[in-house]
């Protein structure tokens, strides 16, 4: 069950933990032991001041070339090159009668367009980057909330993302704190007693999608959701990191099947 929690719109750095706790209070909700708090990664990023005015960005020759090839805003292309851990390539497609381009990137364990840069829900001409050090930041927010409420919770930073071959976005957990983001069912028995071959369940990503169902994408201003009875087991110690959920992109079947292994 996901409970939406509205919170004030922000467009400059702010103090995140008191804002979250006030928003939960104002929504007449309380955190309970075992809840997973879902927090918009964009809201987290804005709290860190991770906002860039496009006209402040110096465009390199490489970004200019890429921007021309893929019909992108050159400042945006520059920011993607700066932010991405790896750039695979680009694509241009027609949208509302004009060409729009994107770069396909890897950043913070997520393969997605434009390194997670986001131009919506922020004043025109500005771009929100991914939060800095998302796993560490998630752990810091979780610890602070636990310290102030005395309640034992998990936390995820939610982000929208586009699935291959699909029109609509779903969600991905940019970071997880307090529980294992993947539940490993390899070796368990299936319905006929045979060992499961390759089943690992993306628990954090699934919780993220369920939370985003109630959080909204446009002007709803609901950057927080409380996910109750998700079935996750909270950890009492140990930190989660990107390696607990992301695989090297070199071993990803999508990357491998479309590049070196292309038939």
Considering only residues 116 to 175 of the shown chain, the ones binding a second copy according to CB under 8 A are 119-124, 160, 162-172
| Shortest distance (Å) from residue 25 CB to a second copy | 22
* Sign of the CA dihedral running 226, 229, 232, 238: positive
Considering only residues 30 to 89 of the shown chain, the ones binding a second copy according to CB under 8 A are 66, 70, 87-89
| Residue 182 CB coordination number (10 Å) | 15
Considering only residues 87 to 116 of the shown chain, the ones binding a second copy according to CB under 8 A are 87-93, 95-96, 100, 102-104, 106, 109-111, 113
Q: Which is nearer to a second copy, 105 or 145 (CB)?
A: 105
Do 21 and 150 form a contact (C-beta atoms < 8 A)? no
Q: What DSSP string runs through 184-213?
A: E-TTSB-TTSPBPSS-EEEHHHHHHHHHHH
Q: Which of 11, 26, 33, 68 binds a second copy (CB under 8 A)?
A: 11
| Residue 44 CB coordination number (10 Å) | 27
How many residues lie near a second copy (CB under 8 A)? 89
Mask 229-258, x = binds a second copy (CB under 8 A)?
Answer: -xx-------------xxx-x-xxxxxxxx
Q: Which is nearer to a second copy, 148 or 259 (CB)?
A: 259
Do 188 and 200 form a contact (C-beta atoms < 8 A)? no
Stretch of 25-33, 133-141, 144-152, 214-222 lying at the interface with a second copy (CB under 8 A) = 214-222
Residues 6+ apart with CB under 8 A from 262: none
């Amino acid at each position: 069950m996901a409970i939406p929690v509205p919170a004030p719109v922000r467009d400059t750095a702010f103090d995140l933990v008191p804002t979250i706790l006030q928003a939960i209070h104002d929504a007449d909700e309380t955190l309970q032991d075992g809840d997973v708090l879902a927090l918009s990664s964009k809201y987290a990023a804005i709290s860190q001041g991770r906002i860039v005015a496009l006209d402040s960005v110096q465009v390199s020759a490489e970004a200019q070339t890429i921007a021309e090839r893929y019909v992108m805003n050159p400042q945006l292309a520059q920011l993607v090159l700066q932010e991405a851990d790896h750039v695979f390539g680009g694509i241009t497609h027609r949208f509302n009668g004009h060409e729009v381009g994107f770069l396909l990137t890897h950043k913070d364990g997520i393969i997605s367009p434009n390194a997670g840069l986001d131009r919506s829900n922020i004043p025109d001409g500005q771009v929100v980057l991914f939060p800095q050090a998302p796993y560490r930041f998630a752990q810091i927010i979780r610890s602070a909330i636990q310290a102030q409420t005395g309640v034992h919770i998990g936390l995820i930073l939610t982000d929208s993302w586009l699935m291959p071959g699909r029109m609509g976005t779903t969600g991905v957990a940019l970071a997880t704190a307090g529980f294992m983001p993947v539940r490993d069912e390899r070796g368990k028995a299936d319905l006929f007693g045979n060992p499961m071959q390759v089943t690992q369940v993306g628990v954090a990503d699934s919780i993220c999608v369920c939370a985003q169902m109630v959080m909204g994408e446009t002007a709803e201003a609901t950057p927080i959701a409380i996910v109750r009875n998700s079935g996750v087991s909270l950890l009492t110690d140990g930190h989660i990191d990107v390696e607990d959920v992301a695989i090297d992109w070199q071993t990803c079947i999508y990357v491998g099947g479309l590049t070196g292994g292309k038939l």
